[in-house]
Amino acid sequence: MNIQGAAERAAGIHYEVDMSQPPLGVGGMGQVFKGYRVDERTGVKRAAAVKFLFEDLPAHAIERAKREASVQIKNENLVEMFGFVEVDETDAMGQHHRRFHVASELLDGVVLYDLLHGKTSNAAGEDFPFAQDLYRQYQNDRVMFAIRIIKNVLGGLMALHDHGYVHRDIDPSNIMITREGKIKLIDFGIAKQLAAPGQPTHQLTSAGQFMGKAAYAAPELAMGDVNHQDETTDIYAMGMLLFELVTGHQAFEGPVHEVLDMQMRKKVPLGEIANKELRRIIEVATAKRQQDRFASAAEFRVALEQLSRTTTSGGERLRASRAAASGTPEWLKNPMVIGGAVAAVLVIAAAIFFLTRGKSDVAPTNGTTQAAVEQVATNTGAPAPDNSAQPQPAASGVKDIVAQLAQADKAPDALKKLTEMADGGDTEALYELALLYSRSVNLDQQVVDNIAKLLPQDNKKAHELNQKAVAADPNSYKSLYELGCDFMAGDQRGAVERDIDKAKDYFNRGFAKAKEQHDEVFTEKCQTRLRQLEAI
């Protein structure tokens, strides 16, 4: 069926909806169907979500729907509203009816609430890479995951506030993760339009009436103080959401009336936030007095930008996540990393190859003298060769196998070989296998996709593999770094309980060994983690 009101007719557009298909959703105000917004002049169609409002809605509900549809802002972090469509119809009995509809862009993805509970698929049950990437980051690095989400939503809020609206209903169920790689704030159902200076505005919410979600409600929202609800009301909600994304739980929990009372009187439990600067940011955002909060969404976002620049995961891990989402490993984009990594692999390869050959009389085939090999052993602190031990595969083979993991047809055999090498005590293989088990955000997205059905995610197993690598070779600085991250993150990774002293020990050892091997990347990573721990 076609839907077109007077305003749409004048604009030369109409909506096409196939009513034979089941609705996309049903809510308290109506049913939502998939449709198309058609430009009658060009014939161009754009997918749309068309909400058919129920006929028995009270006047204030219709007015609220009209207000929602009026928030027509084009921004990559906001759902785009197309308009409010009023259609006059006459039935077979000659009775006149007015039908109301709300049209918006059709979003394909998963809401943040569901993502936090492990869902990475859309309404059709189809998994998509962007959601999978975000969920892996949530499991492995909640701080940078939280910054990533909050910065995007703040971008949408900046546009919303600039156009004179306050959202008032920010929570994980109103943030959409789309297949196209966007993070969008949705549902302007209870948005408030701010009056221009000196201009009155019609309010749809009565004084003393609570609207929104209790867990994210600023004090002025909790007490129904409509006149004082402004941009800082949304900033408070964003601060509460930031706390939740980092800790894994809401700041205040319980019956609605108790949570609202806590929002007005109780301080957010900031002691649960390890990072000192992040703790300060949440403290400012969730200040009880509006004048003590960030003055704008832009100011809030700048604070997060500064934090991400001083956090290891804010640089390397966030860039790696974006590279994974684009299908290009981040290290391929950094010549310095390539040089350091190749050099480290060659040194380790040579050392392991020659030190594990026992008393072979065969001379090295790459031009390296035995004296040079012995010098490598001395510099790295590698144990003396055990002539009774079985030969170990060369580390360079690990690199080749990891490359094969990115090829769907070769991934099963490559994983089998990598596991066999790890079982044989190859430290590089143990480290790489640990990355696979933990679904590290530093992995190529194609590798993750290929091993998803071959290997379960198991952070405890990853921890054990890195422990084996360090036990076999105390110089395994990559595994030392990962073990430090495990003890630093604690239950965020789910491998071990948090232990700052152990984390410092592993990072210090990893730093020393990485520096010996002239691996600037891991030297810097360990240094940065140590600086973070000192700030706690």
Tens of pLDDT, residue by residue over 291-320, are: 999 999 999 999 999 888 876 443 444 444
Report the 10 Å Cβ neighbour count for 55: 10
CB distance 498 to 524 below 8 Å? no
Percent residues over pLDDT 90 in the chain: 57
CB distance 32 to 23 below 8 Å? yes
Q: In degrees to the nearest 10, what's the CA dihedral of 7, 203, 205, 75? A: 60
Helix 520-535, helix 335-355: angle, nearest 10: 110
The pLDDT of residue 40 is above 90: yes
For residues 488 and 186, give the distance between their C-alpha atoms in angstroms, rounded to a whole number. 35
**Can you name the residues that pair with 84 across neighbouring β-strands?**
102
138 and 92 in a single domain? The answer is no
Residue 536's pLDDT band, with cuts at 50, 70 and 90, is: low
468 and 518 in a single domain? The answer is yes
pLDDT of 507: 93
Write the CATH number for 73: 3.30.200.20
Secondary structure of residue 475 in the 3-state scheme: coil
The pLDDT of residue 361 is above 90: no
pLDDT of 126: 94
**Does residue 248 lie in a domain region?**
yes
Residue 196's pLDDT band, with cuts at 50, 70 and 90, is: low
528 and 509 in a single domain? The answer is yes
pLDDT of 445: 66
Q: Which residue has the higher pLDDT, 250 or 211?
A: 250
**Does residue 320 lie in a domain region?**
no
For residues 98 and 3, give the distance between their C-alpha atoms in angstroms, rounded to a whole number. 12
Which helix (H) or strand (E) covers residue 291, if one does? none
Q: Which residue has the higher pLDDT, 314 or 8?
A: 8
Q: What is the pLDDT of residues 69-122, one digit of tens each?
A: 999 999 999 999 999 999 988 777 877 888 999 999 999 999 999 999 999 999
The pLDDT of residue 528 is above 70: yes
Pairing of strands 96-105, 45-53: antiparallel
- Three-state SS sequence of 6-23: HHHHHHCEEEEECCCCCC
237 and 287 in a single domain? The answer is yes
pLDDT of 28: 79
For residues 224 and 233, give the distance between their C-alpha atoms in angstroms, rounded to a whole number. 12
Q: Give the global pTM.
A: 0.58
Residue 391's pLDDT band, with cuts at 50, 70 and 90, is: very low
388 and 505 in a single domain? The answer is yes
432 to 396, 421, 439, 490: CA distances (angstroms): 12, 11, 11, 21
The pLDDT of residue 60 is above 90: no
**Does residue 337 lie in a domain region?**
yes
Average pLDDT, stretch 224-229?
A: 89
138 and 233 in a single domain? The answer is yes
516 to 142, 249, 376, 455, 521: CA distances (angstroms): 31, 42, 11, 34, 13
The pLDDT of residue 30 is above 70: yes
DSSP of 225-272: -GGG-SHHHHHHHHHHHHHHHHHSS-SS-SSHHHHHHHHHHPPP-GGG
Q: Please give the span between the terminal C-alpha atoms of the chain, in angstroms, as a whole number.
A: 61
How much of the chain is helix, strand and coil, in % rounded to 5? Answer: 50, 10, 35
Average pLDDT, stretch 263-283?
A: 95
Mean pLDDT of the chain: 82
89 and 183 in a single domain? The answer is no
What's the structural domain count of the chain? 3
**Does residue 390 lie in a domain region?**
yes
Single residue among 105, 138, 170 that ends a domain in this structure: 105
**Does residue 132 lie in a domain region?**
yes
For residues 94 and 84, give the distance between their C-alpha atoms in angstroms, rounded to a whole number. 25
283 and 350 in a single domain? The answer is no
- Segment among 254-258, 272-276, 393-397, 448-452 with least mean pLDDT: 393-397
Judged on CB neighbours under 10 Å (0-12, 13-18, 19+), 59 is exposed
91 to 3, 37, 87, 96: CA distances (angstroms): 16, 25, 13, 7
Dihedrals phi, psi of 71, to nearest 5 degrees: -80, 75
Single residue among 105, 129, 149 that ends a domain in this structure: 105
Report the 10 Å Cβ neighbour count for 41: 9
Write the CATH number for 181: 1.10.510.10
353 and 400 in a single domain? The answer is yes
- Segment among 229-233, 284-288, 382-386, 415-419 with least mean pLDDT: 382-386
Write the CATH number for 525: 1.25.40.10
**Residue-range definition of the domain harbouring residue 81:** 2-105
**Can you name the residues that pair with 26 across neighbouring β-strands?**
31
For residues 339 and 331, give the distance between their C-alpha atoms in angstroms, rounded to a whole number. 10
**Does residue 316 lie in a domain region?**
no
Q: What is the pLDDT of residues 459-497, one digit of tens each?
A: 899 999 999 999 999 999 999 999 998 998 886 677 888
The pLDDT of residue 270 is above 50: yes
Q: Which residue has the higher pLDDT, 292 or 457?
A: 292
Percent residues over pLDDT 70 in the chain: 79
**Does residue 319 lie in a domain region?**
no
For residues 54 and 73, give the distance between their C-alpha atoms in angstroms, rounded to a whole number. 26
Q: Which two tokens stand for residue 390?
A: 């079985």
The pLDDT of residue 204 is above 60: no
Q: Dihedral of CA 461/464/468/470: which sign?
A: positive
57 and 141 in a single domain? The answer is no
462 and 487 in a single domain? The answer is yes
Q: Which residue has the higher pLDDT, 403 or 34?
A: 34
CB distance 151 to 301 below 8 Å? yes
202 to 165, 206, 226, 426: CA distances (angstroms): 13, 11, 11, 71
The amino acid occupying position 374 is E
367 and 477 in a single domain? The answer is yes
Residue 513's contacts (CB-CB under 8 Å, 6 or more residues apart) are 474, 475, 476, 477, 480
**Can you name the residues that pair with 184 across neighbouring β-strands?**
176
The pLDDT of residue 457 is above 90: no
**Does residue 321 lie in a domain region?**
no
Single residue among 105, 133, 152 that ends a domain in this structure: 105
Long-range contacts of 528-533 (CB under 8 A, 24+ apart): 528/311, 528/312, 529/312, 529/481, 529/484, 529/485, 529/488, 529/503, 530/504, 532/275, 532/311, 532/312, 532/488, 533/488, 533/500, 533/503, 533/504, 533/507
Out of 75-84, 322-331, 493-502, the most confident range is 75-84
Average pLDDT, stretch 12-21?
A: 92
